[in-house]
Amino acid sequence: MVDVVIIGGGPAGSAMGSFLSMKGISNIIIEKEIHPRPHVGESMVTSSTRIFEEIGFLPTMEKEAFVHKFGASWHEPGGREFQIRFEEFPQEGIRQPYTYHVDRGKFDLLLFKNAQRLGSQTIQGVGVKQVLFEEDRAVGVRIRLGDQDVDIPAKMVVDASGRSTILGRQLNTKKNDPIFNQYAVHAWYENVARGEIPISEDYIHIYFLPVERGWAWQIPINEKITSMGIVVEREVFREFKGDMEAYFNTYVASNPALKKALEPATRVNEFKTEGDYSYSMSSFVGNGFLMVGDAARFVDPIFSSGVSIALYSAKFAAETIETALKANNVSEEMLMPYEKKLRGGVSVWYEFIRLYYKLLPLFTHFIQSKKYRLEILRLLQGEVFERSEVDILDAMRRYIETVEKTENHIFKKQLSSIPLDEIPETILASSQPTPH
């Protein structure tokens, strides 16, 4: 019997397989699609580099010449632009002052191959139908091969099925986020006017849009292609009367810098949409199973944190699984250290994102401030997993409180309706008993 069966071969599943194989833990990754397959989520944060190094994948990233991402740039509708460069805050032990923009089809295929190279068995083009339980313990998965159901037994099951959240749906532990209900429309374009910066040193460009929680991304995929996406509240999208092209162009026109970038451009593939992507499972672990990456939770892609969280959750999960298998005890209790660690990290991102959306000018104000710039940059790099390490979030809160209390504050009108105090229970802490 294999030690661990992994559902899904995206970044979380392939990193999971890689880490387990390096620890001598046998594993099989079952992927529903056949790589390469398209996927949203093309811009990384620098913390990913550390994981690439640990699983021997960094040379591949360099050899395949993915676009280097040296920083980020925010564009206000009024014309002002704010930039950060990762090199301003060097990461201990990392020699590269940049991360990557990727074609996810190619990136996910290479990461999947890396897991194979390190020893993961793999199956592609076959979806997992359900996780098998004996009493309340996961004992394997069921797949459909031809016209037959086949059961694959394992000592542990890892759900890395991304937003399919196969286990969360099976166990009914998925909770939609009470605040964020964003909707994204995106496509690839050729000939986007990407400005003065050569592609070898490019940034992600974020454009603020004049609707609550509205923004657009511009991510260079290669010399020719740029990924463009518009994100707004789902309601705002629903209320729009017109086709997708008209919708996209309306929001493009609402920020002059974005309009200018897209003026000479041609769309080269169909629009894709992404909705319902803010949720959390009430628990990330249970007897004989755990969830990694988007299968555990996902909030909002504004800071490009998704792939990094997927990779780190795999690393933390592999450490916990190793201990549990050595002790011959894969109970929920044994797996709980993983849940605590991951929740610590995603709660930091979640709070940061909420504060960001609460008062947009505060973010641009802080990244221009000598006092706070580096701390913001450190958060944006994605290596903080303890709330106690991020005083900057308290500083952001205090600033917002001052704006709320001060009549005629210049930022007062820009406070959004997001509540800051009621952080949903499912976000902060686990754990309720898992129903089966």
The footprint of ligand FAD (CB under 6 A) covers 7-13, 30-33, 39-44, 127-128, 160-164, 166, 184, 274, 277, 293-295, 298, 301, 304-308, 310
| Residue listed under structure tokens 């564009």 | 75
Q: Which is nearer to ligand FAD, 10 or 214 (CB)?
A: 10
Q: Which is nearer to ligand FAD, 40 or 420 (CB)?
A: 40
Q: Which is nearer to ligand FAD, 345 or 395 (CB)?
A: 345
The dihedral sign for the CA sequence 117, 120, 122, 128: negative
Q: Which is nearer to ligand FAD, 286 or 293 (CB)?
A: 293
Q: What are the DSSP calls for 165-190, one per residue? A: -HHHHHHT-EEE-SS--EEEEEEEEE
Task: Output the smallest distance, CB 134 to ligand FAD, in A.
Answer: 20
Give residue 159's Cα distance to chain centre: 16
Task: Output the smallest distance, CB 411 to ligand FAD, in A.
Answer: 27
Instruction: Give the pair of three-digit tokens for residue 37.
Output: 């397959």
Task: Output the smallest distance, CB 67 to ligand FAD, in A.
Answer: 13
Which residue type sits at 22?
M
Q: Which is nearer to ligand FAD, 155 or 297 (CB)?
A: 297
Q: Which is nearer to ligand FAD, 87 or 274 (CB)?
A: 274
Task: Output the smallest distance, CB 192 to ligand FAD, in A.
Answer: 16
Task: Output the smallest distance, CB 277 to ligand FAD, in A.
Answer: 4
Cα separation, 98 vs 71, in Å, equals 7
Q: For 176, list phi and psi in degrees, rounded to 5.
A: -70, 145
Residue nearest ligand FAD, Cβ-based: 10
- The residue count for the chain: 436
Task: Output the smallest distance, CB 327 to ligand FAD, in A.
Answer: 27
Q: Which is nearer to ligand FAD, 41 or 220 (CB)?
A: 41
Could you report how far apart the first and last alpha carbons of the chain are, in Å?
23
Task: Output the smallest distance, CB 164 to ligand FAD, in A.
Answer: 3
Give residue 338's Cα distance to chain centre: 18
Residues 6+ apart with CB under 8 A from 223: 199
Nearest Cα to 308, choosing from 44, 34, 128? 44
Q: Which is nearer to ligand FAD, 31 or 332 (CB)?
A: 31
Task: Output the smallest distance, CB 385 to ligand FAD, in A.
Answer: 16
| Residue listed under structure tokens 């929920």 | 332
Residues 6+ apart with CB under 8 A from 31: 8, 9, 13, 112, 122, 123, 124, 125, 126
Q: What are the DSSP calls for 269-330, one per residue? A: S--EEE----EEES-SEETTEEE-GGGTEE--GGG--HHHHHHHHHHHHHHHHHHHHHTT--
Q: Which is nearer to ligand FAD, 184 or 359 (CB)?
A: 184
Task: Output the smallest distance, CB 107 to ligand FAD, in A.
Answer: 10
